[in-house]
Structure 1
Amino acid sequence: MPLFALFLVSLLLPRSFSDSNSMIVTYGKPINYTASYSHTSTTWEECVGACYQSLSCVLAHTPESPINCKLFDVNKVFEVEKLESSSESLVAFKAINSGNTCPTGDNPPTFGNSRNQGTASNQIANYTYDIDYSVDETWQLSYTAIPVCPNGWTQFVRPSTNWCIQVIGGPDVTYTQSQALTNCENLESTLTGLETIAERDFVANTAIVLLGEDYPEHAGFWVSGTRKPECYADGWESISYCTGTNLQQFDFTDGYLTNYAGYTWDYRQPDRNLNGPWANCIQIWMRNQAKFPQYNYTLFANGNADDAVCDVVDYQSYHLRGFACGKIPEVPVGAI
């Protein structure tokens, strides 16, 4: 059997976590590991395929004869000794091979003496790992857990970081902006901003689900944004960034915003509510289209932003029924 006959096994077997992983076959044996498990393979091809199909497996090993397939999971194997073909000891590394070509050089898993990488996951976390070749003729594997959003949070990609959002609220609860912020802080987060239209639509669509089909009114949900003091003190009209729809007139507790594209102002907003208590905090609108068909939902889209009075829960003809929290992903406990 050619040594690299199974190298492109990734072309034949489906994967879900990383389609760029392949199985790279060479001679060697694991010498530093904490656990392995047997697989009932009768051929080396089956052994390699079993590792490839398992999201948690990073290495397969067996003598050429008789076959005794051992699989090694992520964060369980750390060093593999390089051997000659006379050893008849086979190993297969799960590693990235975006070009789908056979490696060259003396050290196939690392394409010579360069670094290679792979991805795998277990019940705790997703991981990336590096494969390095050392001068003592061993391959070293080192692992990094990928930060993820906790259960109940949805992850979005931002230019500065990935970002987790959770929407909280319902038809029978109300919140001031300070109450919403405190609730987010209790979840080790803050009121989320709206980096993109995708984030805005997610918050709005989730809020509508939380309100329920029978919710009979308009509703607002708090998001990050509080008007700067100089933008409501006497003379604010003379400060250019305090006027119109300019978002520079607001401070944001969400410190990972970069372009604010998810803040789409509702028709003729922000209006400051100059005839009553000043509206200095940002909420977004929810309107049940089935119950309010008279609205032009191009101008009055769900998720559009409006400035609202920060410390009230019943504002004009609607209620502040919820809020959206945001935080950066975290490495799961136990992943390291």
Structure 2
Amino acid sequence: MHIHIMYLLFVILIPKMLSLQMIVTYGKPTNFTDATSFSESSWESCVEECYLQNTCVLAYSPTSPLNCQLYPVNRIFSVQKLYSTDLVAFKVTNSTATCPTGDNPPTFGNLTNYGSISTDLVDYTYSVSYGSDDTWSLSYNLTGRVCADGWSMFVRPTTNWCLQVFGSPSVSYTQADAIHNCTNIGTVLSGLETLDERDFVAAGALTLLGAGYPEFAAVWVSGMRKPECYSDGWENLAECAGTNMEQFTYTDTYMANYAGYTWDPNTPDRNSTGVWQNCIQMWIRIESVSPDFPYDTNPNGNSDDATCNVADSDDFSLRGFACGKLPEIPADA
């Protein structure tokens, strides 16, 4: 049986004067990048807590034992429909004073439902749609936000994203240096959601480093191998095999895909130099300036795993990094 219950806990006013409500049904999150455990004595309290937290869009728990999980905006992307056991509560809008009815809440058939959240830092609208694979998909849009001067905007499934490449042909960086430098300007070491992002970072690094960049130059991008994927027995874990991107954790938590990571042949190779290579770099190479051409003919911008704490060695030189951040509200808005 389906649950057709709406918990109308409170009514709050947001832009466009829409009220947010919690709609409960059976389901389980299947694609997300963040969740917060919350200690509650009942499912009703779990739902209420999501409603009260401005950035929460979904509450989830098995029916027994209770394990309240709260999912923030722009971090939960799909929910599998179930017919028993696990419960989910979607935070969506309702412009009427009545409780919607029909099969398959919160979309009530194959309709689309919506939500909107505003904070001091973020303005989001989001939609909840239902697909033929019995899955609800959540998509998000940042409204009225732009990338600052010097940054370029890219459209991701989860959000718009601002990118900029930093570095110097005369300075070397460890991955920790790259993360620290990005953090200092309020950003994160960026990942590569799409080929467009990859090409932008690769071209930007070439421009930044100029014709004098060192042999086998590279720049850092987001990605650090999980400990279980290099400790004893990692060969037996499917997620640790080949180019499976689940073997890494990311400072950039706004990626839904990893299409921008295009690997050199036979990489990632983990420890081909006898030292574990657990972080991800992007090779910088082009025919007109590459010191090693024509011997190194792999594409500019390909990924490889590298030693996290080595910035400059006989084998390669890490000369930059890509930072990313959410778009910002314009100063004159």
TM-score band, normalised by the shorter chain? 0.5 to 0.7
The corresponding residue for 1:184 is 182
Cα RMSD (Å): 1.6
- After superposition, the C-alpha distances for 1:52-80 in whole angstroms (9 at most, x for unaligned) are xxxxxxxxxxxxxxxxxxxxxxxxxxxxx
What secondary structure sits across from 2:200 in the alignment? helix
Classify the secondary structure of the residue corresponding to 1:213.
Answer: helix
Give the SS at the match of 1:184: helix
Report what 1:294 is aligned to: 294
Q: If the length of structure 2 is used for normalisation, what is the TM-score?
A: 0.55
Per the alignment, in what secondary structure is the counterpart of residue 317 of structure 2? Answer: strand
Q: What pairs up with 1:1-336 in 2 under 5 angstroms?
A: 146-290=144-288, 291-295=291-295, 297=297, 300-335=298-333
Quick one: structure 1 residues 145 and 216, their matched pair in 2 at CA, closer, same or farther if it must change by over 3 Å?
closer
Cα pair 1:215 1:288 within 8 Å, conserved? no
The offset of 1:241, in angstroms, is 1.0
Displacement of 1:211 after TM fit? 1.0
Do the aligned partners of 2:169 and 2:212 also contact (CA within 8 Å) in 1?
no
* Counterparts of 2:300 and 2:207, CA distance in 1: 12
Name the SS of the counterpart of 1:211 in structure 2: helix
Distance in 2, Cα, partners of 1:216 & 1:285: 11
Identity of counterpart residues, as a percentage?
57
Q: Which runs of 5+ in 2 are unaligned?
A: 1-141
Q: Deviations over 1:64-107 (max 9, x none)?
A: xxxxxxxxxxxxxxxxxxxxxxxxxxxxxxxxxxxxxxxxxxxx
Secondary structure of the residue aligned to 2:328 is coil
Quick one: distance in 2 between partners of 1:274 and 1:318?
14
Higher-Rg structure is 1
CA contact (8 A) 1:191 1:254 kept: yes
Query: How many pairs are equivalent?
Result: 190
Deviation string, structure 1 residues 110-162 (Cα, Å, up to 9, x no partner): xxxxxxxxxxxxxxxxxxxxxxxxxxxxxxxxxx9711111111100111110
Give per-residue Cα distances to partners, 1:225-264, cap 9 Å, x unaligned.
0000100111111111101111110011111101100000
Distance (whole Å) between structure 1 residues aligned to residue 265 and residue 313 of structure 2: 17
Change (3 A) 1:207 1:255: same
Deviations 1:257-301 (A, max 9, x none): 01100000012110012552200000000124123331463xx11
Query: Matched residue of 1:180: which SS?
Result: helix
How many Å apart are 1:316 and its aligned residue?
Answer: 4.1
1:275–1:174 Cα change, 3 Å: closer
Structure 2 CA distance for partners of 1:200 and 1:210, relative to 1, 3 Å: same
Partner amino acid, structure 1, of 2:294: Q
The code of the aligned residue for 2:170 comes to D
Q: Partners in 1 of 2:165 and 2:193 — Cα distance?
A: 15
Give, in whole Å, the separation in 1 of the partners of 2:232 and 2:151: 41
Task: Give 5+ residue unaligned stretches, structure 1.
Answer: 1-143
> Which residue identity is paired with 2:292?
F
Structure 1, residues 173-229: CA drift from partner, whole Å, max 9, x if none?
Answer: 111001100100111110111011010000000101111123342211000000001
CA deviations 1:11-64 (Å, max 9, x no partner) are xxxxxxxxxxxxxxxxxxxxxxxxxxxxxxxxxxxxxxxxxxxxxxxxxxxxxx
- Is the CA contact (8 Å cut-off) linking 2:163 and 2:325 kept in structure 1? yes
Distance in 2 (alpha carbons) for counterparts of 1:259 and 1:152: 25
